[in-house]
Structures are given as structure tokens and as C-alpha cells.
């Protein structure tokens, strides 16, 4: 009996041990679960903001293919990545069809001129014949009048014959005069028709000559040549679009090449919502290019966009703000090993390009867009950007500021630019005074079309009295040295003389260019660090340690028995650092993950930003300022 009791107790002990061992093994994962923690620190907090930026040119020019009313085929093209100086040849198109049409139009004009000369000669001959016939008819009338004076001496029958002869002679003279007048009017009408045909032929010939001037596209400023992609054909989605090459056919108006001014660069970056609230224009930034290791450059915030945007092609669905940073070009050039004379030359080039107004103009008659990114919001249409055409500048010269100025001026600025762009400075002042006098204090936008035509007529009359002949749209102008030059089709802008067009040469390839300019490339990536604020003696924790529960900000403080929930108040916060005003003491340990949430709930909360999710996930991106 005693042995049975002992055996029973042993079996019960083994069963109890097995049961508790099973329970212990089930609870081991939870016991072994370790939460990431962080210690509450106190000290000076430097709030920094970090971003990734892309280097781009402040100013750029987009050269577009002209409309040659035929095949637009590239015959000569500047090498990709070459450095073009002002008036260098960038693109040249095939001029065979234009020359053929030009010869045909010239032949038509010569035929019309010969026909006009023939008709004038025929008219002169016919006038001489008519004068002879008219003289004969007058002599006949005079002879008949003399015969009538003899009627007193003649019989009644002869007298009657003389009267009838006089009446017939006078009637023939009148009919001849009427016929001569009709023939002259008919000849003049034929000459007028031929004159209109000649005017039409002259107009078509001038158009063909203008198209011939569009064969060559010259660089309006010094800069890097970037060749565009040939998107004129049909390509499947996902296929690689090739660059434009010699021999390719392009569509009229298609961008062919960009001229990027590498003498002045800027950085374009995107920042999150929390960082955007801490940034303002003029803040200093530290820039480090990926292509230049272990070297940092200084910059400043140039402009910031007021609205956030998200790219549908990006993996990050969060909306971000565009920020433009200016770059200290002297430091950048010095880091590249530039000599003082090279730095001075590039600064002079930047100053020259900066003085060029950002406007639409013509290069040999072909349209191009010059974009000056002087504080323009990144991603704006080029007037901006490089060039797809075209980031626009802010302020009175372009962008929204220019639109407002044009609305206030009612297009007066564009009209004045068209009138004064080709005139000397002294004549420009006279034109402006004449414009003010013609308007009489009125606004051009408030005038009706008839009143505008009247004002323009008065203005041109005053200019003629002053001896000023403003250029017309698409008119050829005479340069001071006697050379012919093309006026801007859009009214003013960059011009090239016939000598410039004839002497234009392609820039050398980049491997043959030994200048420092080719070392800079738009599109280089860089890290940007912005020191937002320095807070002395502050209590701070990582942003992952802050959670939101029922609309309140809480942290989980570690105790002997586990973690306790504690509400806190924030003083400042960024993407990675939270400055605590109340609720925590230095040295305490806080959890960086919700200890009360299950594994599935934790992922769901972090992804959707629900209850129990960390503020780092709610605030936006994980990588931010600290």
C-alpha cells in the first residue's frame, strides 16, 4: 500500500512537472520578447533637417526644331556633353527642300516681273496707237466742221450730208475716247493683279528666306549642351527612347537641345511636412555632392514651394514640398581644382548670362525658351526647367510675378518690348514717352480693339515725326554695321547676324575640351544638411518613442514590473527628435515600440497611423531631421 501511494505521488509529480513545463514553454516567446528602448537624455539639441537634392542649372535655353514646311532632318548636331560658347552652332537641318522652294519662288517672282514689264510695254504701245487714232478722229471732226461752214454755198442735200458727217465724226470721237478709257482701266486692272501676284511672290520668297535662316540654331549663351530624346516616332511603353542623332527626322516645335549654364548652379530637393514648418528662406545649408567625396559646400535656402506634391511614379506616396538651395559657386569650383583665373572667368560668364532677360525669342528665326530659375519653384514649367520647356522665375521678369505685371499693364509691356527691343537706349526713352502720351493716362487693357488700333496709329505717327522706325513682326532689320539680321518673331530677343550664321562652328567634343566647365554636370545628387535650431539643455527622445492614444501623446516608461503609459507635452519636434516639455525626467528608459500591442496590431498601427502608432510613422517619413 505504501509503495502504491509513493508511485502515485511520483506519477502526479511527473504529470505536474510536464504540465508546468508545457505552460512555461508556451510563455517563453512572450517572456523572451525584448522591446527596443531608449534613454531620456538632457542636453543641447541641434534640430537638423536632411534631404536629398539634385544639382541643376539656374538658367537654361531650349532650342526647338523650326517649321520648314517640309522634312525637318538633322544634318549636324553638337556632341552631347560638349561646352558651347555663345554663337556656336548647336543644330543644323537639311536645307535642300527649302533651297528648292526658294528657287521656285524666285523663278515665279522673276516671271511675274517679266510679265509686268511686258504688260507695261504693251500698254505704252497701245497708248501710242490710241493717241494716233484719237488725233485722226479729231482731225475728222475738224474737217467735218469746216465742211459744214460751206453749207451756205451748197445745195440742201449736200448741206445735210455735211451735217450727218459731222455728227458721225463726233460720235466716232466720243466712242474712241470711251474705248481708250476702258482699255486703260483694263490694263491698269491687269497690272494691279500682277502687282498683287508679285506681292504674294515676294511674301512667299521672304518666308522661304526666313525658313532658310532657321536652318541653323546657334547658342544664345555659353553653357553645356544636352541633347533631347527623339519622341517623334512610335514607341512601346517601357521601351528606351533614343537621343536625337544626325540623320533623324524631328517634328516642328520639338525640343532638340538644351543649353545649360553651368556657371551658376542650384539644388532642388523635397522635404516633408514637419521639416517644411521649420524651414525658411535664407537658412544656411551644408551640401555634400556624391561625386565629390569628403568635401562639403555652403549654401542657402533660395525658395520654397507653398504646396506639397507627390509623384505617381515614386514609391513614396507622401506629399512633399519643393525647396531650392543656392550653391556657393566659388567653393564648388575651388573644390574641383579651379584656378583663380578660371573662377573669375566662370563668374563673369554667370554675370553675362544673368543679364539676359528670360523671354521667348528667336535663334536664327527658330524659337527657344530661356528659363532663369531665380527663385522659381522647382518643377514649374521651364521658364523652367530645363527644358522640357520650359521653371519660371518669380518676380517682375517672369513667372507669376510677370503674369500679374502683364495683367496690370494689359499687354503694354509686351508691346513696348516689341517696339524698343531693337532700338538704342535714347530712342527707347522717346518711345516710352510717346506711348504714355498716346494712351493719355489710360490702361491698354481697358481699351477696345478700335481704340487700341487708334492708339497704335497715333504712336507710330509720333515715332515717324521723331525719326524712329520701330521694327515690325518678323521684319528684317539693319544692324549698325550694315549687316542684315533677323528680328525676333516673338518681338525682340537674341539676334545673330548673317556673318554669325555663316561663321558658326560646332563646339568641340567633351573629351577634347580641357576646360573646367565640362566637369560640372546638372543632375548630380547630393546630401543636404540644414541646421534649423539649437535648443540648450533640453529633454529629448527619439520620435519612435512617442505614441498617440485617444488623441493624446504618450510614452511607455520602463518600470520594475514592466512599462507604464505616461502622457507628455512637446516643446519642439522634427522628423527624428522630440523635445519634451513635461512628463519625463532625464535618465528614464522609454520603449520605442508599443508593449501593449500585439504583433499584427503593431504593424497595422504603424502602417495606418492608428491608435498606438509611433509619431515617427504618423509624422511622415522615417528619415528626417534630428
- Among candidate residues 213, 232, 265, the one where a domain is terminated: 213
pLDDT tens column, 405-429: 333 344 444 455 555 555 666 677 7
Residue 144 inside a domain? The answer is yes
pLDDT tens column, 211-237: 888 899 998 888 888 888 887 766 566
Q: What does the pLDDT read at residue 58? A: 85
Closest CA to 209 of 107, 77, 109, 103: 103
| Domain carrying residue 450 | 411-493
Question: In which residue are the cell numbers 511603353 written?
Answer: 237
Q: What does the pLDDT read at residue 86? A: 86
Candidate ranges 136-145, 466-475, 567-576, 609-618; pick with highest mean pLDDT: 136-145
- Among candidate residues 179, 196, 213, the one where a domain is terminated: 213
Residue 115 corresponds to which cell in the numbers above? 510679265
Residue 542 inside a domain? The answer is no
Question: In which residue are the cell numbers 535662316 written?
Answer: 213
Q: Within a 10 A sphere around the Cβ of 538, how many other Cβ atoms?
A: 18
Map residue 304 onto helix, strand or coil.
Answer: strand
pTM over 0.75: no
Q: Within a 10 A sphere around the Cβ of 39, how many other Cβ atoms?
A: 12
Beta-strand relationship, 484-486 and 563-567? unpaired
pLDDT tens column, 97-139: 999 999 999 999 999 999 999 999 999 999 999 899 999 999 9
Residue 184 inside a domain? The answer is yes
Question: In which residue are the cell numbers 497595422 written?
Answer: 604
Sign of the C-alpha dihedral, residues 345, 347, 348, 349? positive
Closest CA to 501 of 303, 362, 294, 320: 362
Residue 416 inside a domain? The answer is yes
- Among candidate residues 167, 198, 213, the one where a domain is terminated: 213
Q: What does the pLDDT read at residue 57? A: 85
How many folded domains does the chain comprise?
2
Residue 138 inside a domain? The answer is yes
Residue 155 corresponds to which cell in the numbers above? 445745195
Closest CA to 83 of 514, 542, 552, 502: 514
β-partners of residue 38 are 590
Contact 68, 252 (CB under 8 A): yes
Residue 132 inside a domain? The answer is yes
182: left (phi over 0), alpha (psi -120 to 50) or beta: alpha
Residue 235 inside a domain? The answer is no
Helix or strand (DSSP H, E) at 163: helix 156-213
Phi, psi of 354 (to 5 degrees): -70, -30
Mean pLDDT score across all residues of the chain? 75
pLDDT tens column, 259-308: 888 888 888 998 887 777 778 888 888 888 887 778 888 888 988 888 88
Contact 585, 555 (CB under 8 A): no
Contact 616, 572 (CB under 8 A): no
pLDDT tens column, 320-332: 888 999 888 888 8
Residue 107 inside a domain? The answer is yes
Please tell me the distance from the alpha carbon of residue 214 to that of residue 472, in angstroms, as a whole number. 18
Angle formed by the axes of helices 96-148 and 156-213, to 10°?
Answer: 170
Contact 88, 504 (CB under 8 A): yes
Provide CB contacts within 8 A for 87, sequence distance 6+.
218, 219, 496, 500, 504
pLDDT band for position 194 (cuts 50, 70, 90): very high
Where is average pLDDT lowest: 72-76, 238-242, 259-263, 340-344? 238-242
Q: What is the mean pLDDT of residues 498-512?
A: 81
Map residue 426 onto helix, strand or coil.
Answer: helix
Amino acid at each position: 500500500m505504501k509503495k502504491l501511494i509513493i508511485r502515485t505521488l511520483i506519477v502526479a509529480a511527473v504529470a505536474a512537472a510536464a504540465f508546468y513545463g508545457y505552460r512555461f514553454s508556451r510563455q517563453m516567446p512572450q517572456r523572451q520578447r525584448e522591446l527596443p528602448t531608449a534613454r531620456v537624455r538632457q542636453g543641447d539639441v541641434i534640430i537638423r533637417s536632411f534631404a536629398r537634392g539634385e544639382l541643376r542649372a539656374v538658367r537654361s535655353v531650349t532650342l526647338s526644331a523650326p517649321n520648314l514646311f517640309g522634312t525637318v532632318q538633322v544634318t549636324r548636331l553638337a556632341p552631347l556633353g560638349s561646352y558651347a560658347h555663345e554663337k556656336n552652332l548647336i543644330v543644323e537641318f537639311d536645307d535642300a527642300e527649302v533651297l528648292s522652294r526658294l528657287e521656285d519662288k524666285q523663278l515665279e517672282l522673276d516671271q511675274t516681273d517679266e510679265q509686268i514689264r511686258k504688260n507695261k510695254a504693251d500698254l505704252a504701245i497701245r497708248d501710242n496707237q490710241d493717241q494716233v487714232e484719237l488725233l485722226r478722229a479729231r482731225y475728222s471732226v475738224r474737217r467735218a466742221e469746216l465742211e459744214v461752214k460751206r453749207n451756205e454755198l451748197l445745195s440742201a442735200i449736200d448741206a445735210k450730208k455735211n451735217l450727218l458727217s459731222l455728227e458721225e465724226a463726233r460720235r466716232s470721237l466720243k466712242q474712241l475716247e470711251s474705248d481708250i478709257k476702258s482699255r486703260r482701266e483694263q490694263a491698269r486692272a491687269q497690272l494691279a493683279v500682277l502687282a498683287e501676284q508679285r506681292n504674294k511672290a515676294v511674301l512667299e520668297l521672304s518666308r522661304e528666306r526666313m525658313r532658310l535662316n532657321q536652318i541653323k540654331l546657334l547658342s544664345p549663351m555659353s553653357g553645356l549642351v544636352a541633347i533631347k530624346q527623339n519622341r517623334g516616332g512610335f514607341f512601346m511603353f517601357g521601351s528606351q527612347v533614343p537621343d536625337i542623332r544626325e540623320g533623324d527626322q524631328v517634328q516642328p516645335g520639338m525640343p532638340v537641345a538644351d543649353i545649360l549654364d553651368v556657371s551658376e548652379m542650384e539644388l532642388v530637393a523635397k522635404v516633408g511636412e514637419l521639416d517644411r514648418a521649420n524651414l525658411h528662406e535664407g537658412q544656411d545649408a551644408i551640401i555634400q555632392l556624391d561625386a565629390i567625396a569628403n568635401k562639403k559646400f555652403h549654401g542657402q535656402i533660395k525658395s520654397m514651394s507653398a504646396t506639397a506634391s507627390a509623384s505617381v511614379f515614386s514609391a513614396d506616396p507622401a506629399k512633399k514640398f519643393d525647396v531650392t538651395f543656392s550653391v556657393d559657386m566659388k567653393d564648388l569650383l575651388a573644390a574641383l581644382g579651379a584656378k583663380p583665373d578660371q573662377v573669375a572667368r566662370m563668374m563673369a560668364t554667370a554675370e553675362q548670362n544673368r543679364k539676359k532677360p528670360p523671354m521667348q525669342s528667336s535663334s536664327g528665326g527658330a524659337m527657344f525658351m530661356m528659363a532663369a530659375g531665380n527663385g522659381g519653384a522647382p518643377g514649374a514649367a521651364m521658364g523652367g526647367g530645363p527644358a522640357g520647356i520650359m521653371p519660371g522665375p518669380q518676380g517682375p521678369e517672369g513667372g507669376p510675378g510677370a503674369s500679374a505685371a502683364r495683367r496690370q499693364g494689359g499687354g503694354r509691356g509686351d508691346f513696348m518690348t516689341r517696339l524698343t527691343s531693337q532700338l538704342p537706349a535714347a530712342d527707347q526713352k522717346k518711345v516710352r514717352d510717346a506711348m504714355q502720351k498716346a494712351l493719355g493716362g489710360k490702361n491698354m487693357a481697358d481699351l477696345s480693339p478700335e481704340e487700341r488700333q487708334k492708339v497704335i496709329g497715333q504712336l507710330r505717327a509720333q515715332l515717324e515725326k521723331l525719326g524712329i522706325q520701330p521694327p515690325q513682326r518678323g521684319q528684317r532689320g539693319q544692324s549698325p554695321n550694315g549687316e542684315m539680321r533677323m528680328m525676333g518673331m516673338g518681338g525682340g530677343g537674341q539676334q545673330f547676324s548673317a556673318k554669325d550664321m555663316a561663321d558658326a562652328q560646332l563646339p568641340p567634343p567633351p573629351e577634347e575640351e580641357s576646360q573646367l566647365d565640362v566637369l560640372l554636370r546638372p543632375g548630380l545628387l547630393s546630401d543636404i544638411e540644414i541646421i534649423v535650431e539649437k535648443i540648450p539643455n533640453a529633454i529629448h527622445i527619439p520620435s519612435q518613442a512617442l505614441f498617440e492614444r485617444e488623441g493624446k501623446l504618450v510614452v511607455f516608461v520602463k518600470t520594475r514590473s514592466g512599462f507604464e503609459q505616461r502622457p507628455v507635452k512637446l516643446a519642439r519636434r522634427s522628423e527624428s527628435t522630440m523635445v519634451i516639455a513635461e512628463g519625463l525626467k532625464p535618465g528614464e528608459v522609454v520603449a520605442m515600440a508599443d508593449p501593449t500591442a500585439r504583433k499584427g496590431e503593431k504593424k497595422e498601427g504603424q502602417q495606418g497611423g492608428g491608435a498606438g502608432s509611433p509619431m515617427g510613422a504618423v509624422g511622415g517619413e522615417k528619415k528626417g531631421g534630428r
